[in-house]
Structure 1
Amino acid sequence: MVSEKRLIDANEVCMYLSLGRNRGVEFARSIGAERKIGRRSLYDKVVIDRYLDKQAMEV
């Protein structure tokens, strides 16, 4: 389940953000959530949550 993991793959990040694959990965990269482990790209859910929380506070 996505909510239990800290590092999630591209498909999971897109499901988590409710975005399409290209837009979800592009967004995660742009906020610095991408983590390279070997040749694999994973995305840090904590970074994504922190960014979204910060955006919510600015509104």
Structure 2
Amino acid sequence: MFLIKEKLFELEERLEAYDYVRISKIDFMDIDSIATLSPKTSGRFEASLINE
């Protein structure tokens, strides 16, 4: 976890260039770290990550 003073929308704009996406109000994920993405009956998705 990192403490930053930037607003989240500003961080989101900066991270887009590095293939990060916002997955919730407070979380970002590196697209390249996703192994699989599965839909759930709740309407949400479950991501399995690559463990390198």
Same fold at TM > 0.5: no
Q: Which has the higher contact order (CA 8 A, sep 6+)?
A: 1
More strand by share: 2
Higher Cα Rg: structure 1 or 2? 2
TM-score, with structure 2 as normaliser: 0.31
More helix by share: 1
